[in-house]
Amino acid sequence: MQDDAGSVRLSEVALTEIVRRAVASVDGARLRKGRRRIGVELQEGRARAELQLAVAYGRVLPEVAGAVQARVADALAGMCDVEVEAVDVTVEELDRA
């Protein structure tokens, strides 16, 4: 991000932590364990995220996924001052209680 005062760079680790905490704030959702769980791109004041989730068995999947999308978009917009183009969510696992 750059303006007349200079530039601000956000590390991949910082972006990942913002997304991780936003996902964790949604009851019944967690990031999927494994190789690729989060992809976040920031370019020219715009953000796009791609997430793979595990959702608690018995939850309404579209509701949980929608809540994750909203929380992640709000977190990125609020903390990074960017326009969020999309938060793409794939539910890849169900967690048994």
Does residue 68 form part of some domain?
Answer: yes
- For helices 61-80 and 12-24, give the axis angle rounded to 10 degrees: 140
Residue 5 backbone dihedrals phi, psi, to 5 degrees:
-80, -15
- Is it the case that residue 1 has pLDDT exceeding 90? no
CATH number, position 28: 3.30.70.1350
CA angle 47/1/26 to nearest 5° reads 35
- Is 33 a domain residue? yes
Query: 67 with 29: CB under 8 angstroms?
Result: yes
Residue 55 has pLDDT above 90, yes or no: yes
Which domain range does residue 61 map to? 12-95
- Greater confidence (13 vs 77) lies with 77
Tell me what the mean pLDDT of segment 49-74 comes to: 96
More confident site: 80 or 4 = 80
Q: Is residue 3 situated within a structural domain? A: no
Is residue 16, in this structure, part of any structural domain at all? yes
Task: Count how many domains the chain has.
Answer: 1
pLDDT in tens, 11-34: 888 888 999 999 999 999 999 887
Flag whether pLDDT at 2 surpasses 60: no
* Residue 1 covered by a domain: no
- Look over the chain and give the mean of its residue pLDDT values, rounded to a whole number: 89
Tell me what the mean pLDDT of segment 67-72 comes to: 98
